[in-house]
Amino acid sequence: MSARLIDGKRISEVFRSDVARRVAEFRSATGVIPKLAAVLTGDDPASAVYVKNKHAACEQAGLGTEVIRLPRETTEAELLAVVHRLNTDPAVHGILVQLPVPPQIQPQRVLDAVTPLKDVDCFHPENVGRLAQGRPRFLPCTPAGVQRMLIQEQIATAGKHVVILGRSDIVGKPLALMLMQKGKGANATVTVCHSQTSNLAEVTRSADILVAAIGVPRFVTADMVRPGAVVIDVGINRVEGRLCGDVDFEAVREVASAITPVPGGVGPMTISLLLENTLTAAALQTSGAPGAGNTGG
């Protein structure tokens, strides 16, 4: 039996047209154009592609967008100065600092400097704390993209065992926080695995829903998946010039009941959430604006 394909591209197209409709409503109600500023430091080719895609998606959704490109030699103080300028610019509602930054810059210091109301990546400790307490201001883009996908595909999480491979601040940890909350698309029993986990395959085989976010090409093999499990592949790896995920897709699709491809799975969802968060940020910063999605305040 071959698994049902979860088409992230299609799901995100529907989602993005809904965001575009809400952006248009917001613009006509307030006269404000929600705007995202992305800061790209250095010349990492993958980062340049990500920023280009985010910029294009913003334009398509009717959001304002600006890319600030800084050279590889940029100092931490110079990058912080740019972030401070964006923090105080009333025309900018969301700030995205594209990672990785060059080695002379400590990423955490820069991410902490983004004002929480413009923190559309949901990396600031205040926003992560709110997420942990179940009262998010912004939803972290990739984890929320995974959750939206599950909801859209009517894959129940309540009472299910979700196993997440990876404990990063960007994917694994916030996804675990989201799926263990009370509420729609959550109420799961969550296990988080990492490089020190013992008996990894035994743990992954106990998953109803297995999420791979480790950055190791085709790491999850068919024998690590319980027949009928749902498999979500967050990984984006380049092998011999081609993109692949953290899951051995061809073998695992014969065991799983549903699976996301790479590319065309979680990736497009991440950008969609960024668009929604920019609209949410604009609503939070515009007095009298209609609510734009998530809870704020």
Q: Is 54 a catalytic residue?
A: yes
Decide if 50 contacts 297 (C-beta within 8 A): no
Q: Which is nearer to ligand NAP, 270 or 286 (CB)?
A: 270
211, two tokens: 């999420």
Closest chain position to ligand NAP (CB): 168
- Chain centre distance of CA 219: 21
Three-state secondary-structure class, residue 245? coil
Between residue 254 and residue 283, which ones bind ligand NAP under the rule CB under 6 A? Answer: 266-267, 270
Q: Which of 98, 147, 152, 285 is catalytic?
A: 98
Q: Which of residues 131-150 bind ligand NAP (CB under 6 A)?
A: 142
Q: Has 18 been annotated as catalytic?
A: no
Say which amino acid occupies 26.
F
**With binding defined as CB under 6 A, does residue 296 bind ligand NAP?**
no
Strand partners, 244: 237
Q: Would you give the binding string for ligand NAP spanning residues 222-241, x where CB under 6 A is met?
A: ------------xxxx----
39 phi and psi angles, rounded to 5 deg: -110, 120
Please identify which residue in 193, 231, 244, 275 interacts with ligand NAP, judged by CB under 6 A: 193
Mark the segment that binds ligand NAP (CB under 6 A) among 15-23, 56-64, 113-121, 166-174. Answer: 166-174
Q: How many Cβ atoms are within 10 Å of 276's Cβ, its own excluded? A: 25
248 flagged as catalytic: no
d(CA 178, CA 154): 17
Q: Which helix (H) or strand (E) holds 163?
A: strand 161-165
Q: Which residues bind ligand NAP (CB under 6 A)?
A: 142, 165-168, 170-172, 193-197, 213-216, 234-237, 266-267, 270
Positions annotated as catalytic residues are: 54, 98, 121
